[in-house]
C-alpha cells in the first residue's frame, strides 16, 4: 500500500475545487500555509464571538460585540466629502448611532429604512456616554433572525482573506472529511472518552463559547493526540529501523569499570549507576544502541560516558568521544587521562591541529587498535581516519551535530552503538518531540561535594560595587567570568560591547588580569585566550556567550552576567553552571537594567530560587514556547497545527508509548489498526514513515 488512500483524495485536491475559491483567493491562502482542503480542515478557530441577541446595549462595556433589535429613527447624511453617514436607532432602552464611511445614500436607505425594525450585530463603542457601532457585521430583518450565527468562530487571517471567506472555506473543507477508520488504541480512546475524528473536527470548528477553543476540550485533545500519534509512529518506525540493524554484542564483566570506580574519591550517584546499567544493557544486546544521555550541568555525564567507553574496550573494540570544539575535546582528554591510566587503557586526542608525523602516527595507531579510546572534534569524520574496530561513538552536545554526521560516524564501524550527550535539560514533551526515536537516560542528581551557587540580582547602577567585589576576589586568588549582553543579534555590536567592558575592567583592575574572548576572534586566538584563563594567567575572562558549553575551570568562583534580563532561562542556567566546579563556594551575579519587565523579573526570580535544570527548562518552555526554547529552525522540532507541546506534554508521552507498542506487535502496520494508522500518517503528511515501512 504505497499510495495515498482514496478516501483522502478530496482533502488533498486543489483549493480551487472548493466552492467560491478562485486562483487569486487560493494564492492568498498561502499566507496561512494553506495549500489544500486538508490544511483548511486542520486550521481551527482561535476564539469565538457570541452573537446571542440582547434587549438593550445600555450598560454594555465599550469594545463588546453586541446583537440587538432596533427601530431606525433618522438618517444624517454627510455634509462634506470624507465625513461619515450616520443613522440613529432606538433599542428597548437607549439610542445607538450607526456609522458608515464611503457608503452610498440609496444603499443605506434600502438597508436601513426609517421606521423599520432591524437586527444589527457589531462592535459597540461608547463615546461620551453615546453608543456607536461603525459598519455593523450583520443587518437583518427580524424575520431573518435565524440567519444570524449565535456563535461565530474566529479564524486566523492573512492578507486578502476575511472571516467570511475563511468561515465558508473551512466549512466546505470540513464537509469533505470522510468517515475515518479508528486509529487510536481502544484502551486509550475508552479512558479519554474522545469522540471519533470527524465528530471531534466538526465540534472544534463550531465552538459555542471561549472555553470551546481551549486545548483542554475533548474535541481538541482528540485532534492533538492524532497529530502526536502520527509524529510518534514516525519516530518509532525510524527507531525500529535502527534497532533492526545488527549491532555487535559488547559484553564484559566490568573489570575495567571496577578499576576506575575503586579509585574514585566518592561513590557514583544512583542516577549515574542507573544510566551506566541502561547503556551497558543496550551495548550487550545484538541490536544497535541509539540512546540520549541527558543531565543537568554538573550531574556527572562524563564519568558515565567514560564507563561506557571502557565497556567497548573490554569487549575487544574501540570507542570515540566527540566534542563540538577543540577546547572541549582537550578538556575531555585532560579530565579522562588519569582515569584511563588507572584502567590501563590508551586514550588519545585527534583534532584538526594534528599535522605531519604526529598525525600519521596517531592514524596508524588507531587503525591497528593501539589507541583504544579516541577523543576528538568532527575531524574524526574525515576520510583517512580509520578505526581497527569501532564499537561505541559518543557525541557530546547533540545540537552541534546534524543527523547526517551521526550517520557518517556510524559508518566508521561495522555496527557502532551511538550515545548522544546533552547538558541542556529538555522538558519531557520537547524531548519526545525531538528525540522520540531514541531511548533516554536521565541524570537528575548532583554528585556529592558540589556546593550550591549563591545567585543574586544586582542593578547595573551598582557596577562599581561589582568591580570592587571582583578586585577583592582576585586578590584572594579567585577567578571570574564576565559575560557581556547579546546585542540585537548583531555580532558587530556584541563585539563592541565586549571590547568596551574589557577596556573598562582592564583600567579598573590592571593589565594582564583581564582576558577577552568573543565570537569574531580567529579560533586560534580564542583558544589561546581560553588557555591563559584555564592556566590561571588571566584572572577575569570577559566573554560573549561562547563560553556557554562545557568549559571547566575549578578555580573560577564568580560569574557576572551583564544585562541578564536579555538572556533566556536555559542560557542563564548554562552560564551559571560554569562556576561551582571546585571546592570553594561560588557566586553568580545577574546584573539587570532597571526597570525590569514582568517576564524579566520572573526569569531572574526563578534563577534565584532553584538550580534544578529540569524545573528551569519547564519554566522556560511555559514562558517562551517550544520554538524559542530549542530554536525550531535548527532543531528538527515538528510544527503542529493543533497540538500544543507546552500544554499537552502528557498526550505526547501517551502517544509515544502507544506508537512503540503498536510497532512491537505490528511492525509493518498490516493489522486493521495498522491500516487505520497508515491513513492517519497520510492525513498528517508523514508519508516518509510509510515509505520507510514499504522499503523496510
Please indicate, yes or no, whether residues 273 and 340 belong to a single structural domain of this protein.
Answer: yes
- The reply to whether 413 and 460 lie within a common domain is no
Residue 584 in domain:
yes
Number of folded domains that form the chain: 3
Considering only CA atoms, which of 499, 534, 531, 537 is closest in space to residue 516?
A: 499
Task: Kindly state whether residues 439 and 507 are assigned to the same domain.
Answer: no
Q: Tell me phi and psi for residue 570, to 5 degrees.
A: -65, -40
**Would 27 be classed as within a structural domain?**
no
Find the farthest-apart pair of alpha carbons in the chain and give their distance in angstroms, rounded: 102
Q: What is the per-residue pLDDT across 92-126, written as a single tens digit (0 to 9) for each?
A: 999 999 999 887 888 899 999 999 999 999 999 99
Mean pLDDT of the region 201-208: 94
Question: pLDDT by residue (tens digit) across 574-592?
Answer: 889 888 877 788 999 999 9
In-domain check, residue 109? yes
- Domain co-membership, 347 together with 409: yes
CATH code, domain carrying 74: 2.40.50.140
Final residue belonging to a domain, choices 101, 122, 148 = 148
Give yes or no for a contact between 285 and 243, defined as CB atoms under 8 angstroms apart: no
> Residue 654's pLDDT band (boundaries 50, 70, 90)?
very high
Q: Is residue 485 part of a domain?
A: yes
* Reported pTM: 0.66
Q: Which tens digits make up the pLDDT trace of 286-337?
A: 888 889 898 877 788 889 999 999 999 999 999 999 888 787 888 888 889 9
The answer to whether residues 363 and 401 belong to one domain is yes
Q: Are residues 86 and 137 in the same domain?
A: yes
8 Å CB contact between 181 and 678: no
* pLDDT of residue 413 exceeding 60: no
CA–CA distance, 522 with 251 (Å, rounded to integer)? 44
328 part of a folded domain = yes
The answer to whether residues 410 and 465 belong to one domain is: no
Select from 132, 148, 164 the last residue of a domain: 148
Q: How far apart are CA 411 and CA 572, in angstroms?
A: 37
CB proximity list for 639: less than 8 A, separation 6 or greater: 632
Asked if the structure places residue 670 within a domain, the reply is no
Q: Are residues 531 and 577 in the same domain?
A: yes
User: Residues 417, 346: one domain?
Assistant: yes
Q: Are residues 383 and 490 in the same domain?
A: no
Q: Is residue 77 part of a domain?
A: yes
Whether 253 contacts 243, CB under 8 Å = no
Across 109-176, where does the E strand assignment appear? Answer: 117-127, 130-134, 138-140, 151-154
- Higher pLDDT: 87 or 581? It is 87
| 318/431 same-domain check | yes
Asked if the structure places residue 311 within a domain, the reply is yes
In a shared domain, residues 402 and 513: no
Question: Could you report the per-residue pLDDT of 485-497, keeping only the tens digit for each?
Answer: 765 555 555 556 7
- From 562, 593, 610, the end of a domain falls on 610
Higher pLDDT, 137 or 523: 137
The CATH number of the domain holding residue 590 is 3.40.50.300
Q: How many CB atoms lie within 10 A of CB 681?
A: 22
Domain extent, residue 107, equals 52-148
Q: What are phi and psi of 598, to 5 degrees?
A: -60, -45
Beta bridge pairs of residue 459: 592
**Environment class of 623 (CB within 10 Å of its CB; exposed 0-12, middle 13-18, buried 19+):** middle
pLDDT score for 414: 56
The residue among 417, 407, 343 whose CA lies nearest residue 381 is: 407
Q: Is pLDDT at 25 greater than 80 in this prediction?
A: yes
Amino acid at each position: 500500500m504505497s499510495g495515498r488512500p482514496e478516501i483522502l483524495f478530496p482533502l488533498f485536491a486543489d483549493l480551487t475545487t472548493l466552492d467560491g475559491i478562485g486562483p487569486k483567493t487560493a494564492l492568498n491562502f498561502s499566507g496561512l500555509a494553506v495549500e489544500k482542503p486538508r490544511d483548511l480542515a486542520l486550521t481551527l478557530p482561535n476564539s469565538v464571538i457570541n452573537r446571542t441577541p440582547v434587549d438593550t446595549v445600555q450598560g454594555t462595556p465599550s469594545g463588546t460585540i453586541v446583537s440587538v433589535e432596533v427601530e431606525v429613527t433618522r438618517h444624517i447624511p454627510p455634509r462634506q466629502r470624507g465625513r461619515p453617514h450616520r443613522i440613529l436607532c432606538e433599542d428597548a432602552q437607549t439610542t445607538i448611532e450607526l456609522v458608515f464611511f464611503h457608503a452610498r445614500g440609496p444603499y443605506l436607505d434600502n438597508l436601513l429604512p426609517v421606521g423599520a425594525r432591524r437586527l444589527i450585530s457589531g462592535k459597540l463603542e461608547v463615546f461620551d456616554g453615546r453608543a456607536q457601532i461603525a459598519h455593523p457585521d450583520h443587518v437583518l430583518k427580524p424575520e431573518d433572525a435565524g440567519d444570524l450565527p449565535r456563535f461565530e468562530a474566529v479564524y486566523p487571517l492573512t492578507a486578502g482573506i476575511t472571516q467570511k471567506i475563511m468561515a465558508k472555506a473551512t466549512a466546505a473543507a470540513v464537509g469533505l472529511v470522510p468517515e475515518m477508520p479508528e486509529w487510536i488504541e481502544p484502551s486509550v480512546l475508552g479512558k479519554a472518552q474522545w469522540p471519533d475524528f470527524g465528530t471531534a473536527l466538526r465540534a472544534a470548528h463550531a465552538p459555542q463559547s471561549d472555553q470551546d477553543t481551549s486545548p483542554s476540550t475533548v474535541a481538541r485533545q482528540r485532534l492533538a493526540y492524532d497529530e502526536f500519534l502520527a509524529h510518534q509512529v514516525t519516530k518509532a518506525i525510524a527507531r525500529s529501523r535502527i534497532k533492526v540493524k545488527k549491532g555487535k554484542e559488547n559484553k564484559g564483566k566490568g573489570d575495567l569499570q571496577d578499576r576506575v570506580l575503586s579509585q574514585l574519591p566518592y561513590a557514583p550517584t544512583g542516577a549515574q549507576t542507573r544510566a551506566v546499567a541502561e547503556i551497558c544493557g543496550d551495548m550487550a544486546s545484538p541490536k544497535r544502541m541509539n540512546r540520549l544521555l541527558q543531565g543537568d550541568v554538573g550531574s556527572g555525564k562524563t564519568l558515565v560516558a567514560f564507563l561506557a567507553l571502557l565497556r567497548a574496550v573490554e569487549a575487544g573494540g574501540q570507542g570515540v568521544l566527540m566534542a563540538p570544539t577543540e577546547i572541549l575535546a582537550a578538556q575531555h582528554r585532560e579530565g579522562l587521562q588519569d582515569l584511563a591510566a588507572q584502567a590501563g587503557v590508551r586514550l588519545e586526542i585527534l583534532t584538526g591541529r594534528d599535522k605531519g608525523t604526529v598525525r600519521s602516527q596517531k592514524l596508524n595507531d588507531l587503525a591497528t587498535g593501539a589507541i583504544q579510546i579516541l577523543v576528538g572534534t568532527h575531524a574524526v569524520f574525515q576520510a583517512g581516519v580509520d578505526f581497527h574496530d569501532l564499537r561505541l561513538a559518543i557525541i557530546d552536545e547533540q545540537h552541534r551535530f546534524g543527523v547526517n554526521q551521526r550517520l557518517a560516524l556510524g559508518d566508521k564501524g561495522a555496527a557502532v552503538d551511538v550515545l548522544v550527550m546533552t547538558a541542556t535539560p529538555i522538558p519531557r514533551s520537547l524531548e519526545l518531540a525531538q528525540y522520540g526515536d531514541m531511548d533516554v537516560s536521565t541524570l537528575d542528581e548532583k554528585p556529592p561535594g558540589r556546593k550550591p551557587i549563591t545567585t543574586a540580582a544586582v542593578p547595573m547602577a551598582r557596577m562599581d560595587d561589582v568591580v570592587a567585589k571582583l578586585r577583592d576576589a582576585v586578590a584572594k586568588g579567585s577567578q571570574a567570568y564576565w559575560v557581556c549582553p547579546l546585542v540585537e543579534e548583531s555580532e558587530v555590536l556584541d563585539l563592541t560591547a565586549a571590547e568596551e567592558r574589557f577596556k573598562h575592567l582592564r583600567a579598573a583592575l590592571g593589565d594582564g588580569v583581564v582576558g577577552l574572548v568573543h565570537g569574531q576572534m580567529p579560533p586560534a586566538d580564542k583558544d589561546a585566550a581560553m588557555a591563559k584563563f584555564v592556566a590561571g594567567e588571566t584572572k577575569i575572562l570577559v566573554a560573549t556567550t561562547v563560553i556557554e558549553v562545557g568549559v571547566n575551570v575549578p578555580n573560577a568562583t564568580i560569574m557576572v552576567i551583564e544585562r541578564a534580563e536579555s538572556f533566556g532561562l536555559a542560557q542563564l542556567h548554562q552560564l551559571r553552571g560554569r562556576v561551582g566546579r571546585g571546592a570553594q563556594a561560588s557566586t553568580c551575579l545577574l546584573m539587570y537594567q532597571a526597570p525590569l519587565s514582568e517576564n524579566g523579573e520572573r526569569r531572574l526570580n526563578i534563577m534565584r530560587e532553584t538550580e534544578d535544570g529540569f524545573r528551569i527548562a519547564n519554566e522556560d518552555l511555559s514562558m517562551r514556547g517550544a520554538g524559542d526554547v530549542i530554536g525550531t529552525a535548527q532543531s528538527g522540532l515538528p510544527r503542529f497545527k493543533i497540538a500544543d507541546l507546552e500544554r499537552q506534554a502528557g498526550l505526547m508521552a501517551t502517544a509515544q508509548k502507544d506508537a512503540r507498542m503498536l510497532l512491537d506487535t505490528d511492525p509493518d502496520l498490516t493489522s486493521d489498526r495498522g491500516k487505520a494508522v497508515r491513513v492517519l500518517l497520510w492525513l498528517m503528511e508523514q508519508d516518509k514513515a510509510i515509505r520507510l515501512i514499504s522499503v523496510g
